[in-house]
Amino acid sequence: MEHRSSQESAPAINALLVGEVERHLRRREAAKQLAVLALLAVGLPALFLGPIVISSIFWMVGILWGFYLPWTWVFAGSFVLLVPLLFRTERRTGGNYYADSVLANRDTSAAVPMFLLAFTNIGSLVALGQRPRDPAIALVELFLWGPRQILDAVRTLRGVRMVAAANRSRVVNIFLALRTCDHADIPALFPGGDAEGGLALAYLLWYGWIGVSKDASRVWLESESRKVGEMPPHNY
């Protein structure tokens, strides 16, 4: 009788575990979507910072020289010219505009120690101390902050859409299979190749549930992911 009760409770426990995994998957999906909205909420208003500052400077210079134009005209022209340039610069530098500019223009008469150059931020600070940078670099870095948030939001949204078609049941099955071992070989997970399984694996990787080896042959659950399966015992 006791043995039968144990057998009947096993499917119920497994169903609870599946439900727990599914809830965590949905929460992380929602967190990604909120991250996109947050990036856009701060990035879009910040996009106007550069044009406002530049147009104000040119507008005031124009007044001093006796040449007047409505500020809104100057702002519109600054926005049309500056914003595409900022996006292009941000794409080209990959978010490292300030560090690259400071290191590229450091004072070569007082070289930065090589071991410090291995750490970009430290090398930038040392170089900045050796030769104070043109304030324009700091200003451009400030202007780039808005485009940076928007581009991050776009990249995140693209990733979400790429894995949106993943079969959630397959995702949960892979998650539970990886929970039972330290790591798994990808060919063993998908013998003969499996597009649906590959998409499910991409989903887990995108949302940070799993890690992958450098040669992309093995995967494993991250430490935080393993905590999802650590459910307390239930009484029936």
pLDDT, one tens digit per residue, over 68-89 is 889 999 999 999 999 999 999 9
Spans of all domains in the chain: 7-37+164-229, 39-160
What is the CA angle 50-123-113, rounded to 5? 155
Q: What is the pTM of this model?
A: 0.72
> Strand pairing partners for 221?
210
* CATH assignment, 7-37+164-229: 1.10.10
Report d(CA 151, CA 98) in Å as an integer.
17
- How far, in Å, CA of 124 to CA of 8, rounded? 64
- Structure token pair of residue 150: 């928007």
Rounded to 5 degrees, what are φ and ψ at 210?
Answer: -130, 160
- Those residues of the chain that have pLDDT short of 50 are 1-10, 108-110, 112, 114-119, 128, 231-236
Of 230, 51, 11, nearest to 139 by C-alpha is 51
